Chain A
Amino acid sequence: MTLLKVENLTLQFDTDEGRITAVNNVSFNLEAGEVMGLVGESGSGKSVTAKALMQLNPSNAVYGSDSSIVLEVEEGAIDVLSLKRERDMQEIRGGSVSMIFQEPMASFAPAITIGDQMVEQLMLHMDLNKKEAEKISIEMLDRVGISDAAKRFKQYAFELSGGMRQRAMIAMALSTKPRLLIADEPTTALDVTIQAQVIDLMKDLVADFGMGIIFITHDLGVIAQTADRVAVMYLGDIVEQGTVRDVIQDPAHPYTRGLLHALPRLDDLDAPLTPVPGDIPSPLERPSGCVFHTRCSVAEERCSELVPQMTVLGDGHSCACFVEVEKRGAA
């Protein structure tokens, strides 16, 4: 069942220096129980895309006229971008859609106990009295592997260690049983041993709850271990999309290949680290044609003039590159 349908999402920001394009004509679907990774460098538009799903972008954001984000929830389909009132959005935020962030300290109010904050959210979104909400909160804390959950429930965020805090945030995000979870770099600030624990936990929870996850990260290793499908973003465009296996083991877009060549790999210590040449262009100076042509090693003349379309190469694997599509042949 398709949980989320994003079509032609274009998102621009009005700034003093002019209108900049943060997300350009992006389309993707997410099935229930599926984890979709969104990868890209800083400034690629991955976080802005995710925030658009909950309309969390600042008020100077301008959405394209044919952009649509449709969320299938129990009550039926919701066209997120048509919700104009804050009140309508608030029902979705923390209810059918939850988000977890990189920095858990920023998600917890410093002067409210973790328990009170969880209870508040549950009572807002679900028809529960305080006692029931407390019970569910403590169960959730226990479920994410926090020992002595009843005691932690009464503590403040600063009293918990980093890994514990991340678990508590996941517990809070999942307590309302959201259909869609947006995870924005949830493991980036964690140590690698704690990261491994959180990744395992998230995999378990997907299996248990059957929700869909949009997983944003810059770490391709984390994506390989968590996601089913992945979309690679560059300067606001999705340039390649497919199963994790296809994209990482048989990358089609020159940018995806560039990212993989720049990555220090443990299975080949002799491989040189090759950066993608040049710098990511300023969003104020978006290149014409293919956005990547200024840094691309296989770019031809047409790449600077024409915009390549996402073309299906094979089972669920698609890529927006003239050269590569010709070489492989469209499916």
Chain B
Amino acid sequence: MSEKPIISAENLSVDFQISGGLLTKNVYLRAVNDVNVDIPKGSFYGLVGESGSGKTTLGRAFLKAVNISGGKLKYSDEEVDYDLRELQKKKLKDYRKRAQLIFQDPYAALSPRMTVRDIIAEPLEVMGLTSTREETDARVREIAAKCRLNLEHLRRFPHAFSGGQRQRISIARALVSSPNFVVADESVAALDVSIQADILNLLKDLQTELGLTYLFISHDLSVVAHICDHVAVMYLGRLVESAPTRELFRAPRHPYTKALLSAIPSLDPDDKGNALKLEGEIPSPTNPPPGCKFNTRCAYAIDVCRSEEPKLEHTGSAHEVACHRWNELFEA
């Protein structure tokens, strides 16, 4: 691929201050730790991990919604190239219309006191993308139709809608400024399976129609397996593995990915899963273990894993893994 990735992160880190002030020592929590990732244009890029893995923070960093503490982060499309760490004022405002977020909870994301039309139109008005009310209305109707919303419903308030319809409203609001890059953070997690299927199909159709690139953040590996073309796995702020979807699910290289996959309950009652069950829980990010962050729960950990942090290495064309023992543990 010669084309530049839409998002490119190099040694990206995000810290949060959790205590400290005038007299006490500042204590930081590293939520995203030295992450390298390229998101190709037009991809449906999946990001998975447990709670506390830093996946949401990484997504927010890409949107410049949190402060970036270290490393490089670049955005590029046909028109602009931005260094997201340096982005200020006017350019930042411009970036806001190019990169958007779809939230998880369609009940919390929509103001109950605004009509659906006003909810979808708000970004246009705030960003000053349209100059007349007619223009705004036309744009709202266009995107609402694309998101398969009934145009009769634009005058109603969100409480009248089901979870699936609300999520379509959230999607329309995110897409109304014609972004190129969309972060969908657990966007189907709160939905019933039938509605989930409907929204996933809609996201996929919109991608083809509007030429979008998605970062799809989810804890649900079955959903990711179906919709994403590339998947990255995070653990305690680190990217531990990244591969094209099929390859990741067929031949995971990292013991954590392997354990995650085997923890998905199978639909076959006779398939009792395999022996790779994880003990314990993800350690607290305020006090991460030395060496490989996964060593406290890893069945294959040896001395080097407890002292040295493994680097992300290429194992195949687009398959990367951060594990000291990847080439001896699992057959491809």
Interface residues of chain A, those whose CB is within 8 Å of chain B, are: 41-42, 161-164, 191-197, 199-200, 218-222, 224-225, 244-245, 248-249, 258-260, 262-267, 269, 273-276, 279-280
Contact = CB atoms under 8 A, between A and B. Distances in A.
A196 B226 contact: no
B266 A221 contact: yes
Contacts of A244: 269
Given A41-B193, A259-B194, A194 B281 contact: yes
Interface string B157-180: 000001111000000000000000
A125 B226 CA distance: 49
Contacts of B282: 191
Interface in B141-189: 162-165
Nearest to B161: A279
Given A262-B194, A275-B201, A220 B267 contact: yes
B265 A164 contact: no
Interface string B266-278: 1111101100011
* Interface hub of A220, A259, A269 (most chain B Cβ within 10 A): A269
A225 B273 CA distance: 9
A224 B263 contact: no
B246 interface: yes
A245 B221 CA distance: 23
B264 interface: yes
B209 to A, nearest CB: 18
B327 interface: no
B51 A200 contact: no
B16 interface: no
Given A219-B265, A249-B268, 5 more contacts: A193-B278, A221-B266, A224-B268, A266-B222, A266-B249
A62 B267 CA distance: 37
Given A259-B193, A274-B197, A224 B50 contact: no
Interface of B: 50-51, 162-165, 192-198, 200-201, 219-223, 225-227, 245-246, 249, 259-261, 263-270, 272-273, 277-279, 281-282
B97 to A, nearest CB: 30
Nearest to A260: B267
Contacts, number: 122
A191 B267 contact: no
15 contacts: A41-B194, A164-B281, A191-B50, A193-B50, A194-B50, A194-B281, A195-B265, A199-B265, A200-B277, A224-B268, A225-B266, A264-B225, A266-B222, A275-B194, A275-B201
A118 to B, nearest CB: 22
Nearest to B278: A193
A197 B282 CA distance: 13
Contacts of A218: 192-193
A191 B269 contact: no
B194 A221 contact: no
* Interface hub of B195, B197, B264 (most chain A Cβ within 10 A): B197
Contact of A224 (B162, B193, B266, B281): B266
A224 B219 CA distance: 20
B51 A191 contact: yes
A199 B201 CA distance: 31
Contacts of B197: 262-264, 273-275
Given A265-B222, A273-B197, A273-B200, A279 B162 contact: yes
Contacts of A248: 267-269
Contact of A275 (B195, B220, B259): B195
B51 A221 contact: no
B90 to A, nearest CB: 41
* Interface hub of A162, A249, A275 (most chain B Cβ within 10 A): A275
Contacts of B267: 220-221, 224, 248, 260, 263, 265, 267
A173 B219 CA distance: 28
A161 B285 CA distance: 13
8 tightest A-B contacts by CB? A221-B265, A273-B197, A275-B198, A262-B197, A191-B50, A41-B192, A196-B263, A264-B226
A264 B163 CA distance: 19
Given A192-B219, A196-B265, A42 B260 contact: no
B264 to A, nearest CB: 6
A330 B261 CA distance: 40
B193 A262 contact: yes
A311 B200 CA distance: 35
A249 B226 CA distance: 21
Contacts of B165: 279
Given A273-B226, A274-B197, A225 B259 contact: no
A294 to B, nearest CB: 14
* Interface hub of B163, B192, B223, B264 (most chain A Cβ within 10 A): B192
A200 B276 CA distance: 13
Contacts of A191: 50-51, 219, 282
B193 to A, nearest CB: 5
B72 to A, nearest CB: 31
Contacts of B220: 264
